[in-house]
């Protein structure tokens, strides 16, 4: 018997559209339970762990386990308790037990377990990165969930998602039947998808509905610097269906930070490199930095009564109805995320930032670099 039917109250945000078409993030998205697991509730903000265990993203060089431990404590004490990971994040550290999932496990051994979201990668040879056997059929989805539970050291996943809409050995139906079986077995409290566009998330919603399993979330790239998924209808479709939109890369790979805003302001238009970026490219972002600084109070004013650029960017993402999961590797970044809670942008501030975001999107048609933000 399906866990919910047409007659049931379909999953939906607690708050709907505001005037001018602007969206406010729901206090939480809730779903009806299966017979095994209690309903999952997603908070307004979480954190991403894609760089954990990945030396190409700074693991062991720019941050380490001590930094993660400090960040973890800051986040939990500040009320941020959702951690987004994947079976393939930090796969380079598998032999050292330093994958993203394993590092997260080491942090929760002596602490209250947070809400954990992880993902299944449908690529057939994922076993070469994450272990297990060749990927095909629905049982591979179920077994991968069990493997993630072991690596994470928990009894159950809170959210288990498909990592990407890519071809799978056994077909799309096998993927969703695998998710449904994991849900029915109590291996996860909810299921989701990642990087699905409007049409794909609607298909996923119907497939889950056929199987009697509620689709909890769709995670996709979204930020003040990249509003493609809002313009193509994906965000609106998620909100319409009651599928929680989770925004990965909400800080545009670190560009929405005081570091770059300050450095660009000091450069005075001179050529050169600012961090890993060419200053000429960053100067294209000057208008959006100015708008963020105006909204935040003054450039990098988090230490006073204002809000940092990162906090403004996260608040913008939440104002549009998304749950941002910014990457966090240290205590300072964790404090920025915590500070993004407890305040909201005014409608005129969202409108001003949206104007700059749309202008940046228009420019991106001619500048490939901007499309990758």
* CA atoms of 28 and 201, how far apart (whole Å): 20
Cα separation values, 260 from 179, 254, 274, 278, 340, Å = 41, 8, 7, 11, 19
Please report whether residue 304 resides in a domain: no
Please report whether residue 210 resides in a domain: yes
40-71 pLDDT per residue, tens:
889 999 999 999 999 999 999 999 999 999 99
Average pLDDT over residues 272-299: 76
Give every CB contact of residue 51 below 8 A, 6+ residues apart in sequence: 57, 58, 59, 63, 89, 90, 327, 329
Average pLDDT, the chain: 86
Please report whether residue 305 resides in a domain: no
Average pLDDT over residues 103-124: 93
Beta bridge partners of 17: 23
Residue ranges making up the domain that contains 67: 40-254+311-345
Secondary structure letter of residue 16 according to DSSP: -
User: First-to-last CA distance in the chain?
Assistant: 44
H or E stretch at 191: strand 191-194
Average pLDDT over residues 208-233: 97
- What domain count does the chain have? 1
Cα separation values, 107 from 72, 86, 150, 154, 199, Å = 7, 16, 14, 12, 38
R_g of the chain, CA atoms, integer Å: 20
Catalytic pick from 89, 160, 183, 316?
89
The answer to whether 91 is a known catalytic residue is: no
Please report whether residue 194 resides in a domain: yes
Tokens of 70: 């400090």
pTM of the model: 0.88
Please report whether residue 179 resides in a domain: yes
Average pLDDT over residues 201-214: 97
Please report whether residue 261 resides in a domain: no
Give residue 266's pLDDT: 58
Please report whether residue 22 resides in a domain: no
Please report whether residue 162 resides in a domain: yes
CATH of the domain at 204: 3.20.20.100
Secondary structure letter of residue 118 according to DSSP: E
């Amino acid at each position: 018997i399906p866990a919910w039917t047409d007659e049931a109250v379909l999953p939906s945000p607690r708050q709907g559209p505001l005037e001018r078409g602007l969206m406010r993030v729901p206090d939480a998205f809730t779903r009806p339970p299966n017979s095994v697991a209690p309903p999952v509730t997603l908070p307004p903000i979480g954190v991403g762990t894609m760089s954990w265990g990945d030396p190409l993203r700074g693991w062991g060089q720019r941050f380490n386990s001590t930094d993660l431990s400090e960040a973890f404590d800051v986040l939990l004490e500040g009320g941020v308790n959702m951690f987004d990971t994947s079976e393939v994040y930090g796969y380079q550290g598998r032999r050292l037990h330093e994958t993203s999932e394993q590092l997260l496990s080491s942090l929760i051994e002596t602490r209250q377990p947070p809400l954990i979201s992880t993902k299944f990668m449908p690529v057939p040879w994922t076993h070469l990165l994450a272990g297990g056997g060749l990927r095909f059929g629905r049982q591979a989805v179920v077994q991968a969930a069990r493997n993630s539970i072991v690596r994470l050291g928990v009894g159950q996943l809170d959210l288990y998602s498909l990592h990407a809409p890519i071809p799978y050995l056994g077909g799309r139906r096998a993927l969703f039947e695998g998710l449904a079986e994991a849900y029915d077995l109590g291996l996860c409290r909810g299921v989701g998808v990642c990087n699905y566009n409007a049409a794909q998330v609607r298909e996923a919603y119907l497939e889950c509905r056929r199987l009697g399993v509620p689709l909890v979330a769709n995670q996709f790239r979204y930020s003040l610097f990249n509003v493609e998924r809002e313009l193509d209808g994906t965000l609106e479709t998620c909100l319409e269906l009651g599928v929680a939109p989770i925004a990965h890369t909400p800080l545009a790979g670190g560009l929405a930070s005081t570091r770059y805003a300050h450095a660009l302001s000091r450069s005075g238009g001179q050529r050169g490199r600012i961090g890993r970026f060419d200053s000429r490219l960053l100067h294209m972002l000057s208008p959006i930095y100015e708008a963020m600084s105006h909204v935040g109070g003054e450039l990098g004013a988090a230490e006073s009564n204002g809000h940092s650029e990162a906090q403004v960017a996260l608040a913008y993402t939440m104002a549009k109805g998304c749950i941002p999961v910014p990457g966090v590797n240290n205590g300072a970044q964790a404090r920025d995320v915590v500070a993004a809670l407890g305040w909201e942008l005014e409608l005129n501030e969202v409108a001003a930032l949206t104007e700059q975001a749309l202008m940046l999107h228009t420019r991106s048609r001619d500048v490939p670099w901007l499309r990758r933000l």
